[in-house]
Amino acid sequence: MKTSAIAGISSLAITGCFQPSEPKTNLRFGIVTDSHYADTDMRDNRYYRESADKMTECIDLMNDQKVDFLIELGDFKDQDEPAVEERTISHLKTIEQIFQKFNGPTYHVIGNHDVDSLSKEQFMENITNTGIKTKSTYYSFDRKGIHFVVLDANFLPDGTPYDHGNFVWNNTVIPQSQLDWLANDLDKTKLPTIAFCHQQLWGSSGTCVRNAGDVRNILQKSGKVLASFDGHEHNGGYKFVEGIHYYTLKGVVVGSGKENNTYAIVEVLPDKNIIVTGYRKAESRDFSQA
């Protein structure tokens, strides 16, 4: 595993790593996370308003690079203090309008702050997951010979869904019913697979799903999962566990100015090796499947 030297690859003159190699490239998709957009003042080094411009930069780059799809990994929007439901929906609609300027399929992973003053149903009704039923907070899809699984870890330990702020950010689980769905979904596909979740599926800190071990066991048992991508931990991170690469993308909302933006392009090559090209603060990595 390695982090490359910085090299410019965009017409926007944004620094990234790993020149796109593309007679060999099989599939390329974009990831971005934790924009926490809200039209509200900065708190705790989170510049909520600036996430609109940061997301716009991300979308421009993804369109320029013509990636196959774009997925955001949760905590898409935030809220005011005190929270007002109508205002929260307005924040969501604003950032989704920017996100939908991507010229291709778009997907969302639901995060805890997406339901800080909304229900899951309200969040899902105001976003678009291309080709997915509106109410589905966890789902799967195929693209260019790769299977993708999107998980929803926004449940309390007793299985109660997060709803209108009824959550503990560092006490999150994936219920048994969803674990059963995941095992069945992976059993049915014959394709190499990539997973997405908002909260981490590795580690032992508060940013990790409490029953992440159960999730990893299902991913590992399938023998099909190449990598998993998540957000939630704004500082980012990486770990290789039992043959699967777990990559945490840094959060957009932290820090002022475009130099504090973060997003990445993930390339899956025909040999199933994966290259992550990080932009701005995002880390670049080369995932070998050997």
Distance between CA atoms of 52 and 231, rounded to whole angstroms?
Answer: 18
The pLDDT of residue 205 is 76
Q: What are phi and psi of 27, to 5 degrees?
A: -145, 140
pLDDT tens, N- to C-terminus, the chain (290 residues): 433 333 333 333 344 444 444 445 589 999 999 999 999 999 999 999 999 999 999 999 999 999 999 999 999 999 999 999 999 999 999 999 999 999 999 999 999 999 999 999 999 999 999 999 999 999 999 999 999 999 999 999 999 999 998 888 888 999 999 999 999 999 999 999 999 999 999 977 778 999 999 999 999 999 999 999 999 999 999 999 999 999 999 999 999 999 999 999 999 999 999 999 999 999 999 998 65
Identify the three-state secondary structure at position 173: strand
Q: How, if at all, do strands 225-230 and 237-241 pair?
A: unpaired
The pLDDT of residue 1 is 41
AA letter at 38: A
Identify the three-state secondary structure at position 214: helix
The pLDDT of residue 13 is 36
Distance between CA atoms of 105 and 189, rounded to whole angstroms?
Answer: 21
> pTM for the full model?
0.91
Structural domains for the chain: 25-287 (3.60.21.10)
Tokens of 34: 């934790």
